[in-house]
Amino acid sequence: MRWMRCLPVLLLVASSAFAQDRAAEQRTAFTRAQHLRHGINASEWFAQHASDYSAAFTNRYTDDGDIALMAKLGFDNVRLSIDPVPLEQGLNHEGQYADFLARLDHVVDRMIAEGLAVQVDIHPESDYKAKVRETSEGVDRFVMLWRRLAAHYANRNPELVFFEIMNEPEQTDPYRWAGIQARAAEAVREVAPKNTIIATGPNWSGIGDLVTLRPLADGNVIYTFHFYQPEDFTHQGASWGTDWHIYTHGITYPSDESGMAEGLKQVPDARDRYNFEHYWLDHWDAHRMRLLMDSAAAWGKANGVPLICNEFGVYRKAAPEASRMQWIHDVRTALEADGIGWTMWDYRGGFGVVWKEDGKPARVDEKVVEALGLKGK
């Protein structure tokens, strides 16, 4: 029975080795998070455009000149959103988008060549998410996709290529999402032992979702959240989301009750008007932004993990320019005050840092660049 007396010692040694390995992994994650300080989302390019992912579209929507401009403006990383459906065709080299992966490779390699880190972000449409959310088959398909994609990019520089499990999973059950995310992370780690993973909370990846998370067993992980609060300001004029936003325009930030009466006149439904009042009554300003970021930072500190905010922005269609710049400035400075890296939404879309027509050079919005605190190169 001598071996039984040795068992506690063996368990202690194993536990100590595990703790040392995890600490080393966490140091790697914190170090690599420094590559994700000032980023931009390359949206509506290889994702969010399900009607057309042809070469004719992707080659003109955002091009090598745009990638060079991202670096020139002072961004240090790009979040590259990828729709999993054409990606599967690209991995299989078959179907309508058999060349999808080759085009994606070109983009990733160009970004790395420009010194940009790349967040490889699986960014599905809602119907794909629903299958992952509701079926075992959907989860198996998703995990297999990650195993193949991570293996494909494991030979790139692991200091600059990050794997983000899924954008805004729309999973209301945090326990189920925790299990799905853990399985996907394990699949990544099996084939890409050196790369850093980016994990997120359930639902829409807000701060409230982040703080429900229990960190993964893997220590080489950065945790992300999204920030668009208050959406009554950031999404005014938008045709998706909250019903009354499509009616609203000219809503100013910081919120001041003196503008409430005129703002409410834009919304036809009485209950919507009642709900909309809270934008002004809640007094949104820089101080409140800082307190919210402090909540995220406190979770990161308590769990010993690095954080990034890889989506934040204001829809520019109807927001007053000065208010939009103030909001971007206040959120960005609040994140930086807590040591949280950021990735603005987005490059050329409705929240953009440039104006661009397909196939033509981009025109930079210098005021956004200033609000982001970037000085260019």
pLDDT of residue 281: 96
Pick the CATH number of 25-229+285-371 from 3.40.640.10, 3.40.190.10, 3.90.1200.10, 3.20.20.80: 3.20.20.80
Each residue's pLDDT tens digit, 350-360:
999 999 999 89
**Token pair 């045709």 in the structure block, residue:** 239
- HSE-up of residue 10 (Cα within 13 Å, Cβ side): 6
- CA 23 vs. chain centroid, Å, equals 25
pLDDT of residue 377: 55
DSSP state at residue 99: T
**pTM for this predicted structure:** 0.94
**Mean of per-residue pLDDT scores for the chain:** 95
Give SS3 for 308: strand
Residue 79: partners with Cβ closer than 8 Å, 6 or more residues away = 39, 40, 41, 42, 119, 121, 164, 310, 311, 343
pLDDT of residue 194: 97
* Residues 61-81, mean pLDDT to the nearest whole number: 98
Each residue's pLDDT tens digit, 137-177:
999 999 999 999 999 999 999 999 999 999 999 999 999 99
Tokens of 114: 């420009």
Each residue's pLDDT tens digit, 206-219:
999 999 999 999 99
Residue 218: partners with Cβ closer than 8 Å, 6 or more residues away = 25, 185, 186, 189, 197
pLDDT of residue 20: 75
Domain ranges of the chain: 25-229+285-371, 240-283
Cα dihedral 42/290/301/298 (nearest 10): -120
Q: Which range among 20-24, 36-40, 274-278 shows the weakest confidence by mean pLDDT? A: 20-24
pLDDT of residue 77: 98
pLDDT of residue 17: 60
Binning pLDDT at 50, 70 and 90, where does residue 22 land? confident
* Residues 256-268, mean pLDDT to the nearest whole number: 95
CA 222 to each of CA 210, 298, 317, 345: distance values in angstroms, whole numbers, following the listed order: 12, 15, 32, 19
* Residues 9-25, mean pLDDT to the nearest whole number: 67
Task: Write the single-letter amino acid at 162.
Answer: F
* Residues 12-25, mean pLDDT to the nearest whole number: 70
pLDDT of residue 376: 67
